[in-house]
Amino acid sequence: MVILIFALASCKKNNNVSPSNPNSGNPTQQQPMTLRGADLSYLPEIEQAGTIFYDSTGAATDPLTIFKNNGCNTVRLRLWYQPATVHSSFPEVLAFANTIHQAGMKVWLDIQYSDTWTDQGNQAKPASWANLSTQVLEDSVYQYTKRVVAAIQPEYVQIGNEINDGFLWNNGKVNNTSTFIALLDKGIQAAKTADGSTQVIIHFAGYKSAFWFYRLLQSNNVNYDIIGISYYPWWHGKDLNVMEDSLSRLSSTFNKKIVIAETAYPFTLGWNDLTNNVVGESSQLISQYPATPDGQKNYLLALRNVLSKDTNNLGFCYWEPDWVAFKGPQATNGSTWENLALFDFNNKALPGMAVFNK
């Protein structure tokens, strides 16, 4: 009897999918991901440079079509207020969003409330908002958000980008809690007023301090829909089991759906231009997943395995899988991400595109 019980327990254990082993379990039997996204904010600029992309067969193909054909159903676009160039401006984002909708895909609008890059360490206000009083700044956030959401009609809208320490500094720093919450509420209210069907995402980088942050929102009755978490193994932790547990606790604690708002993984540690890459050392990798095309694919399938175990996990978004070295091999201001793209150095689609499969 003891032997029989042990055997049954062993069989049950072996039916589980291990996050650290992408070959355990059968990915085709997982729950389908509701949101299978790619941030393609760079694509208008890359295409403007005449870059040609190729599908897995080697046929020259429109890149948006490549993503759609591989199962990607959502495109994330960053929006800057008054950027130095047309890229990530409202006219460019509006035009691209229309193209995405016409292709039958969903739009995830990432409103960054700045003229340039924002993340957990950078949250500069738009230059034209620099000297506004807090009251006028709140109204500006409301009117701007309402206007762009009404025009673009995204299925998902993100109020701020990686707002670990707030946004619209210094007014909206987290330690200036009442103003931070007021600005966040204005953005959310405006988005919901402009389009009642849009789902509001609040985005945090990493998961280790996320409980404190989302508890702050909960205690202040912030009315959002989805928790968005950036997860890059070299910055946020290499143990997928720990990440899985953290997401589960976040979801159950705050009764929210969760999406991995940003992730990526390298297919090589090499370079295709003279711009330093974000990932270039083996110490940055998860040991089970080497920087090879199959290693990249297996990491992504392992991540999807983790997400598919909990129905509160909506899905994921791969950050800039299109950011190839489009400025040429000698560019020192080119791509820091070309070895993290889902295209090889000849711009041919890699096996990692399988992560988008239904």
Catalytic residues: 162, 262
Give 123's Cβ-side CA count (13 Å radius).
21
Distances (CA, A) of 70 to 41, 73, 108, 295, 321: 19, 9, 18, 19, 13
Distance CA 98, CA 19 (A): 37
Distance CA 117, CA 124 (A): 8
In this structure, what token pair is assigned to residue 219?
């205690």
**Widest Cα–Cα separation across the chain:** 77
**CA quadruple 116, 202, 39, 41: dihedral sign:** negative
Q: Could you count the other beta carbons within 10 Å of the beta carbon of residue 198?
A: 20
Distance CA 93, CA 114 (A): 15
Beta bridge partners of residue 79, listed in sequence order: 111
Beta bridge partners of residue 7, listed in sequence order: none
Q: Which amino acid is at 245?
A: D
Distances (CA, A) of 269 to 53, 295, 296, 324, 336: 21, 12, 11, 14, 12
- Cα of 315 vs its chain's centroid, Å: 10
Are 355 and 304 within 8 A, CB to CB? yes
Can you tell me whether residue 115 is helix, strand or coil? coil
